[in-house]
């Protein structure tokens, strides 16, 4: 009887945890709808953390926060879902590009004052006539870099040794006129790298800018943002 009761408690706790994380993602999705951004949960992945702070190298000041971290069932891939950066237009345009190049330099441990980044090798800018495949953005900066010193700010559900199993990062910094800038990442193990194309296509299908910016009041924005971060705090993620 005691064994059955203990098993029941474990199952109940697991279901409660799943319900909480699902509810948080639904709130994150609603947060995106405010700006006309569609966000979908990736199939075959599980949300393992919210509001995660990531850096390629602690010796470099550059780093980013990510609203949701998803892990694939085989644990070969992490999806880092973006925050919605709503700075002024010029600041947004500067941020999405400077963060891309700054993070590449941090990953490669380049001193920008002494070394020159080989952008052709690591960075690709996509701005085609039809961007429907690429988040429906105006421009996306892709970069692919190795990782050997990356870390997440504690607390994080994976240990440092587990994080270091992810050896490759694909960054995607995207912008569209009138919308928030978004910066996302895919982290891959050596096994996950063999399915790179599959994972990239899966992530590309998870986020989509609307065709036109959505009108909203600052009052509503403050209310939606507060509701989301209040739930993160209640869940112990802040």
Give the span between the Cα atoms of 195 and 78, in whole angstroms.
Answer: 13
Phi, psi of 215 (to 5 degrees): -80, 135
Tokens of residue 112, six digits: 């920008």
Per-residue pLDDT of the chain (238 residues; tens, 9 = 90+): 444 433 333 333 333 343 445 678 888 998 899 999 999 999 999 999 999 999 998 888 888 899 999 999 999 999 999 999 886 666 767 787 888 988 998 898 887 667 777 888 999 999 999 999 999 999 999 999 999 888 898 889 999 999 999 999 999 999 999 999 999 999 999 999 999 999 999 999 999 999 998 888 889 888 988 888 888 888 777 6
In the chain, where are the structural domains located?
A: 15-234
202-224: burial string, b at 16+ Cβ within 10 Å, e else: bbeebbbbbeeeeeeeeeeeeeb
Of 60, 56, 40, the closest CA to residue 169 belongs to 56
Of 95, 101, 73, the closest CA to residue 82 belongs to 95
């Amino acid at each position: 009887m005691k064994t059955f009761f203990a098993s029941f408690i474990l199952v109940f706790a697991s279901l409660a945890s799943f319900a909480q994380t699902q509810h948080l993602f639904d709130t994150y999705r609603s947060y995106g709808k405010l700006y006309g951004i569609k966000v979908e949960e990736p199939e075959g992945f599980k949300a393992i953390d919210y509001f995660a702070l990531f850096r390629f190298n602690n010796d470099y000041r550059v780093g980013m926060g990510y609203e949701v971290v998803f892990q694939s069932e085989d644990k070969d891939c992490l999806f880092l879902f973006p925050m919605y950066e709503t700075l002024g237009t010029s600041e947004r345009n500067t941020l999405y590009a400077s963060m891309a190049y700054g993070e590449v330099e941090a990953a490669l441990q380049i001193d920008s004052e002494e070394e020159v980044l080989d952008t052709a090798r690591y960075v690709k800018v996509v701005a085609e006539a039809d961007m429907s495949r690429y988040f429906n953005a105006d421009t996306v900066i892709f970069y692919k870099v190795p990782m050997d010193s990356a870390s997440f700010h504690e607390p994080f559900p994976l240990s440092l040794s587990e994080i270091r199993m992810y050896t490759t990062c694909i960054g995607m910094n995207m912008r569209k006129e009138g919308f928030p800038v978004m910066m996302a990442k895919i982290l891959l193990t050596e096994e996950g790298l063999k399915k790179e194309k599959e994972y990239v296509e899966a992530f590309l299908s998870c986020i989509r800018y609307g065709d036109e910016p959505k009108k909203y009041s600052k009052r509503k924005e403050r209310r939606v943002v507060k509701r989301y971060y209040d739930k993160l705090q209640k869940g112990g993620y802040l």
